[in-house]
Amino acid sequence: MNQGRTIFSQVMEFIPNKDFARCVEKYKGERYAKSFSCMDQYLCMAFAQLTYRESLRDIECCLRAHQPKLWHMGLRARISRSTLAHANERRDWRIWTDFSQVLIRTARELYGKDQFGVELDEAAYAFDSTTISLCLSLFPWARFRKTKAAVKAHTLLDLRGNIPCWLHITTGEVHDVKVLDLLPVEPGAFYIFDRGYLDFARLFNLTQCSTFFITRIKHNTRYRRLYSSPVDKSAGLRCDQTVALVNYYAHRNYPNNLRLIKYVDPESGNRLSFLTNNFQLPAITVAQLYRCRWQVELFFRWIKQHLRIKAFFGTSENAVITQIWIAISVYVLVAIMKKRLNLDQSLYTILQILSVSLFEKKPILSALQPSLYPELDATSCNQLELFNF
């Protein structure tokens, strides 16, 4: 009999159990639980994320089909879709928020020295939001438009490792720029926004917190050029100017000078204009940093394609937020595993392999890196032939 552990249990071994227990105890997650613990709930939801399950019935059928292996996977309770639905609806979603933050801190330490294409010693973050469309009749609490419901995931992405270091979930009606009031700031770090976040009062608050921002200027923004700096036009730069805002309300909200950089993308030919409050970085570095903002768009596309955050297992607000946070935690958990095991494959490749091999009992490296564990050739056996014709 194979005495090894399943690949699923080896993946879940990267969970910090003590920190998980603290998060559960903080919000009394198991106050009325009899048999179905928070760990059982998390393992079921993580299994759904890793194997692309589409519904609670789907989760129940797949897990019950492997009933003898569930104990070795860490699942101690009997799996029932009604029990899982009740847990998603009733247990405080802040349990999974705090637990995800624990994993995020670990991942950021592991990826803290990674390069992202720009020579920069300071931390750099890209901030944006993505809209997840919902059915208004099933999710009336998430009203977005007259006949549409939606939730928004406002995400701050650490460009070193593409780790989502902060995430805030709101209904679709909340404007993106309002979330800047809740954004955690790190002195000396760079925050990169698109021009939808061009609010001079809020940007001035970031400046007063000793942080730097890079954003695009709107076409109707009025400014006055104070002086210009020389630029290398062969690199795509067109101007590097120090400007002051002319509009009364804009100047009142942001009384300091700003730096305006105009750049022509050599690949697309698009003419881009950037505003920043940093006057020390080379102009080309500012343009390169803004190009890195596209990483947050790629992150949104990736999680929508490869995680279960478009079809939800419950219709309540608590169930939706719970599923999104658990999906983020699974993403970060796999990123931690990738770094600690020194895997060369992409997260996409790792998830695809895990999705079809979670119930197998063999070392996880043999599944993720088969080239390191070659299979024995049956034809090269030294056993003598019984009959020699």
DSSP letter for 183, please. -
pLDDT at 385 over 80: no
Question: What pLDDT score was predicted for residue 30?
Answer: 87
Are 274 and 208 members of one domain? Answer: yes
Question: What pLDDT score was predicted for residue 247?
Answer: 92
Asked if the structure places residue 180 within a domain, the reply is no
Asked if the structure places residue 278 within a domain, the reply is yes
pLDDT at 372 over 80: no
Question: What pLDDT score was predicted for residue 183?
Answer: 93
Amino acid sitting at position 189: A
pLDDT digits (tens, 9 = 90+) for 9-43: 999 999 999 999 999 999 998 888 888 899 999 99
Structural element, H or E, at residue 320: helix 317-340
Domain with 252 in it: 194-283
Are 278 and 346 members of one domain? Answer: no
Are 12 and 82 members of one domain? Answer: yes
Asked if the structure places residue 133 within a domain, the reply is no
Are 12 and 85 members of one domain? Answer: yes
pLDDT digits (tens, 9 = 90+) for 104-139: 999 999 998 888 888 888 899 999 999 999 999 999
Are 278 and 217 members of one domain? Answer: yes
Contact 89, 319 (CB under 8 A): yes
pLDDT at 228 over 50: yes
Mean of the per-residue pLDDT values for the chain? 89
Are 27 and 87 members of one domain? Answer: yes
- Spatial distance between the Cα atoms of 2 and 184, rounded to a whole number of angstroms: 49
pLDDT at 388 over 70: no
Are 250 and 331 members of one domain? Answer: no
Q: Tokens for 125, please give them.
A: 């973050």
Asked if the structure places residue 135 within a domain, the reply is no
Question: What pLDDT score was predicted for residue 2?
Answer: 43
Diameter of the chain measured on Cα atoms: 100
Asked if the structure places residue 174 within a domain, the reply is no
More confident residue, 108 or 374: 108
pLDDT at 84 over 50: yes
Q: Based on the structure, what is the number of domains in the chain?
A: 2
pLDDT digits (tens, 9 = 90+) for 159-208: 998 999 999 999 999 999 999 999 999 999 999 999 999 999 999 999 99
